[in-house]
Structure 1
Amino acid sequence: MPVFEELDPIVSLADQMETEDGPIVLINVFTVDSHEEGALLKAWSHDADFMKAQPGYISTQLHKGIAGSSTFINYAVWQDVESFRNAFTHPEFQRRIDAYPPSAVAKPHLFKKLSVANHCVG
């Protein structure tokens, strides 16, 4: 099971899951010992199979740091916080978390797109 840490020391994932915002993006930063990368990928894939079958799921993409980094970022798009909350707290998903390697540290946090003139749309 991974160790969970907050990405934002002021606003926790639990605080965020009490809101009713949407659409949202989950950014989950994982670190793992290099010799356990295969186990992390296997556990993440198993989780992703479950999540993509849940209502409100839109998409996901896993990224890996370059130059020998053992840092990964999962970028997952959800219709709304309620959909993510229901999937994340589902007993089946909670059981799947146990499959992560012992060195894994996860820092999940929810975001929403912003509109910035001449750069990006919300």
Structure 2
Amino acid sequence: MLKHVELDPTFALEQQYADTSDKPTILVNIFDVDLRDHDAFKKAWAEDAAFFARQPGYISTQLHQGIGNSRMFLNYAVFENTAAFAATNRQPEFGPLRGVYPDSATAHPHLFRRVHIPLICVGERD
């Protein structure tokens, strides 16, 4: 079963669902997975990602793996807005997907929005 640990312990994922902006929302989810469970993790993540891909407001996702013998994975997913992401997480089919992950896996999810830095970063302007 996938364990969940807040990336920012001062602002939980559920609290982030209150965002009402209609701007794109990025999920960054950092996973810590025992080396022996990497194949099982990738299989579980693919099932999870396929579920998300079928949901309204989903745009894209990409899984990254740490280099060498790293235990770390990073998922970067884009949604039309926070409400779309929150609705996906509240689907009854979502909860059971946590159970397909290996017991060694821990997720650290957090929502982000791109930042505009002139001449450097394309992002949302205030």
Q: TM-score range by the shorter chain?
A: over 0.9
Give runs of aligned pairs for residues 52-67 of structure 1, distance below 5 A. 52-67=53-68
User: Identity percentage over the alignment?
Assistant: 44
- Superposition TM-score, scaled by structure 1 size: 0.97
RMSD over equivalenced CA pairs, Å: 0.8
Report the CA distance between 1:50 and its aligned residue: 0.6
Q: Measure the CA separation in 2 of the matches of 1:67 and 1:41.
A: 16
Q: Which runs of 5+ in 1 are unaligned?
A: none
Give 2:26's aligned amino acid.
V
Secondary structure, counterpart of 1:37 in structure 2: helix
State the number of aligned residues.
122
Q: Are 1:8 and 2:8 counterparts?
A: yes
Q: Measure the CA separation in 2 of the matches of 1:8 and 1:23.
A: 20
Deviations 1:65-118 (A, max 9, x none): 002102000000000011000111111111111101001000000000110011
Q: Measure the CA separation in 1 of the matches of 2:68 and 2:97.
A: 30
Q: Are 1:47 and 2:48 counterparts?
A: yes
Q: Point out 4+ residue stretches in structure 1 off by more than 2 angstroms.
A: none
- Superposition TM-score, scaled by structure 2 size: 0.94
Give 1:109's aligned amino acid.
H
Q: Which runs of 5+ in 2 are unaligned?
A: none
Deviations 1:44-68 (A, max 9, x none): 0001111001000000000000021
- Of 88-97 and 74-83, deviating more is 88-97
Partner of 1:75: 76
Partner of 1:34: 35
